[in-house]
């Protein structure tokens, strides 16, 4: 078998997430169906760098594909894209070493969240519209509390696939761009709903409804409060999956124009 590295973008609006699920549309499930169709009757293995939640988008998800074929990478990309639905697109395919693993070899990941300060006719699927005025400086102050190795037990639901709720957050960047507030979170990995709950908490700080001290409490002791503040998936994008020697993400810029 040959191993290939795939770079994939998708609009998560109509998916129940990345991972294959029974009786639900998933990105991995849709792609596996198409891979099977293109390479039939060859056996294959297809795995992603990690899960994304229902409704969450990806600018550059990474996966690896093991399949016995003589087709060159560019032809594989074209054949798969010809069969895939419009909300999934393969950006690139390249040969990978046999020991490359999309998930295990990932060094860290980055997500970008888009908050809109105005109602938008075109960007509704890709932003969270917040009517209230937000104090960006207070949000930046609160964001600093999440940097480093922390226990995010208050920012996730019980997940049998996760052995630990400890995650190292490398950086949180925040930027205003017109009517958008952009937030990039980079970390070693992310657990279920973690990013959306961090965003929800930051938004409440920005609204003036949560204090910095309360955010510190959420990090130090387990609390069910962040779950009530979970930001909608519409504004969240898996931006980049980093491997050894990968360059840092470019400047933080809007993913859509509103």
CATH number at residue 172: 3.30.70.660
Residue 245 has pLDDT above 90, yes or no: no
pLDDT of residue 47: 96
31 plus 116 within the same structural domain: no
Q: How confident is the model over 66-83, as a mean pLDDT?
A: 97
Q: Which domain holds residue 68?
A: 2-95
Active-site residue, from 53, 135, 151, 159? 53
Cβ–Cβ < 8 Å for 139, 202: yes
Neighbour tally for 104: CB within 10 Å = 9
53 has catalytic annotation: yes
pLDDT of residue 38: 97
How far is residue 3's CA from residue 234's CA, in Å, rounded to a whole number? 33
Residue 18 has pLDDT above 90, yes or no: yes
Q: Would residue 248 count as lying in a domain?
A: no
Q: Would residue 247 count as lying in a domain?
A: no
Q: Would residue 191 count as lying in a domain?
A: yes
Cβ–Cβ < 8 Å for 212, 205: yes
How far is residue 109's CA from residue 111's CA, in Å, rounded to a whole number? 7
With cut-offs at 50, 70 and 90, classify the pLDDT of residue 162. low
pLDDT of residue 160: 63
Q: Domain with 19 in it: what CATH number?
A: 3.30.70.580
146 plus 214 within the same structural domain: yes
DSSP E strand stretches across 68-147: 88-95, 108-116, 128-129
Lowest mean pLDDT among 44-53, 220-229, 241-250: 241-250
Bridge-partner residues for 47, per DSSP?
64
């Amino acid at each position: 078998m040959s191993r290939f590295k795939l770079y994939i973008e998708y609009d998560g609006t109509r998916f129940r997430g990345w991972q294959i699920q029974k009786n639900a549309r998933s990105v991995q499930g849709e792609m596996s169906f198409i891979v099977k169709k293109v390479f039939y009757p060859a056996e294959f293995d297809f795995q992603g760098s990690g899960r994304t939640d229902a409704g969450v988008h990806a600018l550059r998800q990474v996966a690896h594909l093991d399949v016995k074929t003589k087709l060159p990478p560019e032809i594989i990309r074209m054949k798969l894209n010809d069969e895939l639905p419009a909300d999934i697109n393969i950006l690139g395919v390249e040969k990978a070493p046999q020991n490359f693993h999309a998930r295990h070899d990932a060094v860290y990941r980055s997500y970008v969240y888009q908050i809109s300060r105005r109602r938008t006719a075109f960007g509704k699927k890709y932003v969270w519209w917040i009517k209230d005025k937000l104090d960006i400086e207070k949000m930046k102050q609160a964001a600093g509390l999440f940097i480093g190795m922390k226990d995010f037990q208050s920012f996730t639901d019980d997940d049998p696939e996760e052995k630990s709720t400890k995650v190292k957050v490398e950086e949180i960047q925040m930027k205003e761009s017109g009517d958008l507030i952009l937030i990039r979170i980079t970390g070693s990995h992310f657990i279920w709903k973690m990013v959306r709950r961090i965003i929800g908490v930051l938004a409440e700080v920005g609204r003036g409804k949560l204090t910095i001290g309360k955010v510190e409490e959420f990090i130090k002791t387990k609390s069910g409060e962040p779950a009530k503040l979970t930001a909608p998936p519409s504004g969240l994008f898996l931006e980049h999956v980093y491997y050894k020697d990968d360059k840092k993400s470019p400047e933080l810029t809007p993913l859509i124009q509103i």
